[in-house]
């Protein structure tokens, strides 16, 4: 009886101490071409410190199909470009390509800058808390893609498990970035 009780107690302690997946992850565009990834710190206690975070960035395979479609009242055939992700998007799915892993070796940091990303490339980002040699569960995934960029304007498409959005950033030329995060329309990524 006592033995059982100890097992139950031990189980509860393990549950109490198990690492949580980071919540509230956000990805914004960085100039020059890059992402700024932020998340909420995973709760911890003094004895039970988070030693850092692991941020994973996957390139997602997309199939690009270009179809001729009659646009403008069937007068002019227009070329429609359509990018369709070939990989499912869900919490329990891990993308096929090897991810690039960024180690944040400080449990109090809750953001990193990722450089050298590519335009017109679909990425998936997830983050996990690290405690010593233990790696916690991954956050919900977020997919991002820079779909348009010139010297003054950037358009960033994002998709989480709950929403799709297209953000337009203007005024990049003078470095005083005016961020307009309004949802303009839904984009399929």
Ligand X SMILES: *[C@@H]1O[C@H](CO)[C@@H](O)[C@H](O)[C@H]1NC(C)=O
Q: Characterize the bridge pairing of strands 142-149 and 123-131.
A: antiparallel
Matching residue, tokens 């690039």:
100
For residue 23, give Cα distances in angstroms to 72, 80, 108, 142, 154. 45, 37, 15, 11, 26
Instruction: Check binding of 175 to ligand X (CB under 6 A).
Output: no
- If the CB atoms of residues 88 and 151 are measured against ligand X, the closer one turns out to be 151
Q: How far is the CB of 174 from ligand X (least distance, A)?
A: 12
Site string for ligand X, 115-154 (x = CB under 6 A): -----------------------------------xxxx-
- If the CB atoms of residues 112 and 155 are measured against ligand X, the closer one turns out to be 155
- If the CB atoms of residues 78 and 173 are measured against ligand X, the closer one turns out to be 173
Q: How far is the CB of 154 from ligand X (least distance, A)?
A: 9
Contact residues for ligand X (CB under 6 A)? 150-153
């Amino acid at each position: 009886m006592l033995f059982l009780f100890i097992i139950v107690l031990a189980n509860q302690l393990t549950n109490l101490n198990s690492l949580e997946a980071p919540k509230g992850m956000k990805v914004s565009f960085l100039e020059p071409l890059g992402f700024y990834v932020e998340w909420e710190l995973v709760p911890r206690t003094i004895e039970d410190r988070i030693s850092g975070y692991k941020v994973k960035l996957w390139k997602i395979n997309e199939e690009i199909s270009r179809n001729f479609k009659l646009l403008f009242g069937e007068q002019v055939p227009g070329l429609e470009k359509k990018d369709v992700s070939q990989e499912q998007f869900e919490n329990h799915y891990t993308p096929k390509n090897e991810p690039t892993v960024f180690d944040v070796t400080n449990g109090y940091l809750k953001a990193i800058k990722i450089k050298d990303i590519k335009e017109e490339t679909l990425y998936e980002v997830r983050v996990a808390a690290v405690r010593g040699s233990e790696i916690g569960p991954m956050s919900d995934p977020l997919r991002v893609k820079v779909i348009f960029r010139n010297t003054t304007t950037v358009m960033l498409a994002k998709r989480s498990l709950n929403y799709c959005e297209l953000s337009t950033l203007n005024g990049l030329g003078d470095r005083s970035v005016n961020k307009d995060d309004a949802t303009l329309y839904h984009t399929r990524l």
